[in-house]
Amino acid sequence: MYNILICDDEADIRSALRIYLSSEDYSIFEAENGRQALEIIESENIHLLLMDIMMPVMDGIRALAKLREQNNNIPVILLTAKSQDTDKILGLNAGADDYITKPFNPIEVIARVKSQLRRYMRFGGNNDTAEKSSVLRNGGLELDDSSKTFSRDGETINLTPTEMQLLKFFMENLDKVFSPKEIYRKVWGDDPLGAENTVTVHIRHLREKIEINPARPDYLKVIWGHGYKMEKKNAPESL
């Protein structure tokens, strides 16, 4: 059974989400603000966090930033009453995996939660039961899908489960160009409507980790008007 933490200062919102998710046999925890959420995450084995952005005491962005500072990579879906792209991008830049705009559709909530849990358990949340697969290499990049580790030029670099799956997708499809909608459909496994911002922000985060100079990337290239591709590179020469 998966443990879902719902963090929202509105009791009606928490109640509605609890009803939706309890029907899927998830174990539900609740918090009224970001500080309470962090305390629960410290004491309980939480698998996913649904969190509002605007809350008293500690808002969702500050709580999310603290969570990521602790290298905690549990999936976080932000809930926001605002529809502006700036709010969505702010959350994604802070380390959110996805977002849902209020008022939300119960079917959408359940689908997003299931999608994030599948990714988390495949890419970092359940390594003991992961199927063994070959190591992916491209130039100085090495992704071990069995141990869920990544290194660049021999240096181990921490990736979130979403970043891990995004990188794995590109490394399995070298030199192939994909539009943001195609990437979202393949990696997030969901309807790509309005998903361009999510893909763009996650690719920027990934570049910051895999590229020596993210402003002039060697691996993850943008193909203007078409999308993105990972360029195939030769293995580095041994010294």
Best-predicted range by mean pLDDT (58-62, 100-104, 188-192, 231-235)? 58-62
Percent of the chain with pLDDT over 90: 54
Position 73 confidence tier, pLDDT thresholds 50, 70, 90 = confident
- Cβ partners under 8 Å of residue 178, min gap 6: 186, 227, 228, 229
Banded pLDDT at 15 (limits 50, 70, 90): very high
Write down all domains in the chain, each with its CATH number in brackets.
3-127 (3.40.50.2300), 131-230 (1.10.10.10)
Which range (4-8, 62-66, 144-148, 235-239) has the least confidence? 235-239
Report pTM.
0.68
Mean pLDDT of 7-23: 93
Q: Which of 39, 51, 73 is nearest to 158 (CA)?
A: 73
Residues 236 and 139: their CA atoms lie apart, in Å, by 6
Contact 13, 103 (CB under 8 A): no
Average pLDDT, the chain: 87
What's the pLDDT score for residue 131?
Answer: 42
User: What b-and-e string marks burial along 62-75, b requiring 16 or more CB atoms within 10 Å of the CB?
Assistant: bbbebbeeeebbbb
Write down the pLDDT at residue 188: 84
3-state helix/strand/coil string of the chain: CCEEEEECCCHHHHHHHHHHHHCCCCEEEEECCHHHHHHHHHHCCCCEEEEECCCCCCCHHHHHHHHHHCCCCCCEEEEECCCCHHHHHHHHHHCCCEEEECCCCHHHHHHHHHHHHHHHHHHHHCHHHCCCCCEEEECCEEEECCCCEEEECCEECCCCHHHHHHHHHHHCCCCCCECHHHHHHHHHCCCCCCCHHHHHHHHHHHHHHHCCCCCCCCCEEEECCCEEEECCCCCCCCC
pLDDT in tens, 156-204: 998 888 888 899 999 999 999 999 999 998 888 777 676 788 899 899 9
At 220, the pLDDT band (50, 70, 90 cuts) reads very high
Query: What are 34-44's pLDDT values in tens digits?
Result: 999 999 999 99
Pairing of strands 155-156, 149-152: antiparallel
CA-to-CA dists, residue 180 to 81, 89, 101, 113, 161, angstroms: 25, 15, 20, 21, 19
User: Could you give the CA distance from residue 125 to residue 224 in angstroms, rounded to a whole number?
Assistant: 35
